[in-house]
Amino acid sequence: MARPISGPATIGQDGYGSNSERKLVTVLFSDLTGYSVLCERLDPEDVREMMNLVFKEIVGIIIRYEGYIDRIIGD
C-alpha cells in the first residue's frame, strides 16, 4: 500500500534533502490489550478471522481520511 516516493533525495547545502519539506502528520500506533492471552485460548483460524475484521475496519477509516499506511506489523 506504500506510495512511491517522488525520486531519489539529494543532499542540499543545509545537510538535508534539497527537496525536503515540513509537514504536519499524524502517526497511529495501536495495541490490542489481552491479545497474547486471547491467542492462547482461541484457534488460530479464529484469531486470523478476528484480526482480518480489525484490520478491515482500521484500514477503512484511514483510507476514508485519505491516510497513508506505511506498514502493518505485529506479533
Q: Residue 17's beta-bridge partner residues?
A: 11
pLDDT of res. 45: 96
Q: How far apart are CA 75 and CA 63, in angstroms?
A: 24
pLDDT of res. 26: 87
Full-model pTM:
0.61
pLDDT of res. 44: 95
Predicted confidence pLDDT, tens digits, the chain (75 residues)? 555 555 555 566 666 666 678 888 888 888 889 999 999 999 999 999 999 999 999 999 999 999 989 888 876
